[in-house]
Structure 1
Amino acid sequence: MTWAWQIAEAELAPSLPRRWAHSQGVAARAAQLASVAEDVAPLLEGSAVLHDVGYAPRLAVTGFHPLDGARFLRDEHGADEQVTRLVANHSFALLEAEERGLRGALETEFPLLDDQFLVDALVYCDMTTTPDGEPTSARERVAEIVSRYGADSLVGRFIRRAEPEIYAAVGRVEAALKAQPR
């Protein structure tokens, strides 16, 4: 998915280099899952590098990056429906959308994929990568997000609500990795 890398770099690197570093790290995590992702590995990696594209200043229409990014990918690039739905729903975005009063719009435009592995895998990749693109644990990542935004902020409330689901998704992916023959 070279096009995904090109789009993400063009939108994030100039104005948000740290977000671009994070997106590259998330995509690198996705590449590490290729053995368990099998035929959906390219879809996972493309969605991983694009997951935060909605943070790009020119794309921030609603201020909710999963929705803004998915709309941009759909409307300006005609991106695959699975990619847009993964980007729109990454890392339990429905819970944050609810906090923002955007859950109905997100659910209507970009329903959650039925493929639990893909949903979990993108959560794993995002929630085990620091803002600088380095590997971390899900617990450290959640703590970093709460610290950065504040526990009582909208993002802080959302991430604390999503925390058990994040750990469960990460656990399922880690179990799949461990079950792989060596």
Structure 2
Amino acid sequence: MVKLAHRFVCVALLGLVCIASAQDLIVVGDDGGVSALPYYRALNLLPDTPAAITPAVPTTPHAPYREADLLPVHSARLTPGRVTPRTLSAPGLSPFFLIGDDRPSRAWLHARGDTLRAMGAIGLVVNVGSAEGLAALRRDAPGLTLVPTSGDDIAIRLGLSHYPVLVTATGIEP
């Protein structure tokens, strides 16, 4: 008789679990959150298809990295040339600029240096062959931070093919 009662309780509990799982979920709390995806799409910064994820190969550095280890930098998607200005809506984006170790970039730095310093823009040197070239650019741009880095990803995301260019929260300027 006791076994029969236990069996009945187990079957009843199992039935309740099945019924409960068939019920619609109850929203306990809703903070009114909305997906941010439309905002990112409006910026047109991300590709529509996800990029293939390649596994990282772990490496063991034998010594601390130096800036010279990053050189030379060559951005295959960016060359010196005329940039078409356009608006951009990226609230909160810190201003940055793309330059290379070339005459057009140096002339642009001389012409825009005060403006770049005033807004605290960071410079990404997307084409530079040597530590000497980077040092010469830094001498031409006192008070500005210049970092050697590939600009190919930024070029894809912002639809750029030329530099020098200033990118702010509100636009892309030559």
Q: TM-score range by the shorter chain?
A: under 0.3
Greater strand content: 2
| Higher RCO (Cα < 8 Å, 6 or more apart) | 2
TM-score (norm 2): 0.27
TM-score (norm 1): 0.26
Higher-Rg member (1/2): 2
